[in-house]
Amino acid sequence: MTAAGTLRFSKMHGAGNHFVVLDLRGGRAAPTPALARALGDRHTGVGFDQLLTVEDPATPGSVAAYRIWNADGSAAQQCGNGARCVAAWLQRDGAAPGARFRLDSPAGPIDVEALGAGRYALGMGRPEFRPERIPFRAHAEASSYELHVNGGSLHFGAVSMGNPHALIEVPSVAEAPVAILGPALQARPEFPESVNVGFAQVLAPDRIRLRVYERGAGETQACGSGACAAVAVLVRQGRVGRHVQVELPGGTLEITWPTDDAPITMAGPTAFVFEGVFPAP
């Protein structure tokens, strides 16, 4: 915080997924939805996919907590690219001096490893396929589901990585109707909390291309939890192996899921873009 009525922020990105980071440690007030929308506006504000607030740790042993706000002002439960940026921000700040530390996310604790050169690896937790935990209204758990969307039959996998994801495999992500099927699937009543919609093209057992239409943000250049979700669904369907390079429009993430009962690990880059001051509304 700087002068009264203004906010100091950091602009960052992780594989093209871009963020504004606010320091709210010391009990500073959380942003209102109106402030999040004002900051997130790409024409009159700073512009971001998500707003990240760095806060005092919630559990012993964690160096800090963070929360996530979408560009429309709604709260989110998880953001892997954002978590890496928070980790880099805390290391620059001196609050996380070691190579390994823990963060408190809205979806639970996350273990972080600094890999050097601005790269970080995160333990993203175990994927949750039970429909009621996603949440997704289905008669029974399955590796693939079918819904009628926009007059056609749509097949997809569903999983939670701390936030809900649906994954559609497509022949070509370049030609996938992301802007049509993304919001159409989000609006389905079977997803009571909406859903992040991924479109995956399998190139090899260890490489896929991915585009993601996110809740509250639309299509983004990268989605860390979406990359983890895509690999989890495709592993379960027998389409890829346990270590996968996920090529997103903004960059590549490395996703590893050693066994079904192990957490998924995500590794990828971070970057500081600029520092600024915003006149709060």
- 14 among annotated binding-site residues: no
Question: What does the pLDDT average to over 12-16?
Answer: 95
Query: Measuring CA to CA, how many Å separate 280 from each of 8, 18, 45, 57?
Result: 10, 20, 10, 25
Question: What does the pLDDT average to over 215-220?
Answer: 92
Question: What does the pLDDT average to over 190-195?
Answer: 97
Enter the tokens of residue 58.
């919630």
Question: What does the pLDDT average to over 137-156?
Answer: 95
16-57 tens-digit pLDDT: 999 999 999 998 998 999 999 999 999 999 999 999 999 999
The identity of residue 14, as a single letter, is G
Query: Measuring CA to CA, how many Å separate 55 from each of 23, 52, 95, 206?
Result: 7, 10, 12, 37
- Residue ranges and CATH numbers for the domains of the chain are 6-123+269-279 (3.10.310.10), 131-262 (3.10.310.10)
Query: Measuring CA to CA, how many Å separate 169 from each of 60, 163, 237, 247, 255?
Result: 41, 19, 11, 14, 17
- 50 among annotated binding-site residues: yes
- 196 among annotated binding-site residues: yes
Does residue 180 carry a pLDDT above 50?
Answer: yes
Angle, in degrees to the nearest 10, between helices 80-93 and 224-236: 140
pTM of the model: 0.91
SS3 221: coil
Give the DSSP letter string of 171-199: S-STT--HHHHHHHHHT-TTSTT--EEEE
The residues, ordered by sequence, that sit 6+ positions from 74 with a Cβ below 8 Å of its Cβ are: 33, 215, 216
- 186 among annotated binding-site residues: no
- 224 among annotated binding-site residues: yes
The identity of residue 5, as a single letter, is G
- 42 among annotated binding-site residues: no
SS3 219: strand
Please state which of the ranges 77-81, 178-182, 204-208, 229-233 shows the lowest mean pLDDT: 77-81
How much of the chain exceeds pLDDT 90, in percent? 90
> What is the band of 9 on the pLDDT scale with cuts at 50, 70, 90?
very high
- 17 among annotated binding-site residues: yes
Question: What does the pLDDT average to over 150-163?
Answer: 94
Main-chain dihedrals φ then ψ at residue 231, nearest 5 degrees: -65, -40
Give the DSSP letter string of 67-134: EEEETTS-EES--HHHHHHHHHHHHHHTS--SSEEEEEETTEEEEEEEEETTEEEEE----B--GGGT
Report, as residue numbers or ranges, the catalytic residues: 79, 223
Q: Give residue 1's pLDDT.
A: 42
Burial of 5 by CB count in 10 Å (0-12 exposed, 13-18 middle, 19+ buried)? Answer: exposed
> What is the band of 4 on the pLDDT scale with cuts at 50, 70, 90?
low
Does residue 88 carry a pLDDT above 90?
Answer: yes
Calculate the average pLDDT of the chain: 95
Count of residues making up the chain: 281
- 150 among annotated binding-site residues: no
